[in-house]
Amino acid sequence: MATVYVTRQLHFSAAHRLHCDKLDPQTNIKIYGMCNNPRGHGHNYDLEVTVRGEPDPLTGMVIDLKELKEIVAREVIDQVDHRYLNEDVDFLRGVVPTAENLAVAFWRILQDKFPGAELYEIKLYETPRNMAVYRGE
Ligand code: NI
């Protein structure tokens, strides 16, 4: 049999501010720079969700990509799109909304959601050049 990896890309836009309450203001500015500006800033995120499994002998599919898209849209995109990530999203409370932390949070939500396929990787592009990858380790 063959294990095949299947990826769907989805998009969302959101605002955030990088700020850690446990650090003093000067340290926050030193670490996060302009990303610590009080009123936040926005990103156009691209989220790539990869699952793996064996293609069904009849359909040839690991998972119906339309179904994969609908699950990620419902569970993640609808919760974060056009929101202020520091305050508006229940599952991000108390988390500094870096790409790293978002990738982990999205993994935890999506981990058990795909029938017949196993979540393999969350890849989150914060910009075309900056991305974080999480594989549940
Ligand atoms: Ni940012």
Distance 16 CA to ligand 1 centre (A): 6
Query: E strands, the chain, where?
Result: 4-16, 41-53, 118-125, 131-134
Distance 59 CA to ligand 1 centre (A): 41
| Residue 17 tokens, joined | 């501010």
Residue 50 pLDDT level (bands cut at 50, 70, 90): very high
Residue 1 pLDDT level (bands cut at 50, 70, 90): confident
In this prediction the pTM is 0.96
Tell me if 42 sits within 8 A of 13, measured CB to CB: yes
Q: What is the pLDDT of residue 88?
A: 96
Distance 128 CA to ligand 1 centre (A): 13
Taking Cα atoms as reference points, which of 125, 100, 105, 102 lies closest to residue 45?
125
Tell me if 82 sits within 8 A of 88, measured CB to CB: no
Q: Is it the case that residue 83 has pLDDT exceeding 90? A: yes
Catalogue the active-site residues: 35, 82, 126
| Residue 111 tokens, joined | 């981990």
| Residue 50 tokens, joined | 């990869």
User: Rounded distance, CA 60 to CA 56, Å?
Assistant: 5
**Which residues, by Cβ under 5 Å, contact ligand 1, an ion?**
35
Distance 27 CA to ligand 1 centre (A): 17
Residue range(s) defining the domain that contains residue 123: 4-134
Q: Encode pLDDT of 99-135 as tens digits.
A: 999 999 999 999 999 999 999 999 999 999 999 999 9
CATH number of the domain encompassing residue 63: 3.30.479.10
Q: Is it the case that residue 47 has pLDDT exceeding 90? A: yes
- Mean pLDDT (the chain) is 97
Domain tally for the chain?
1
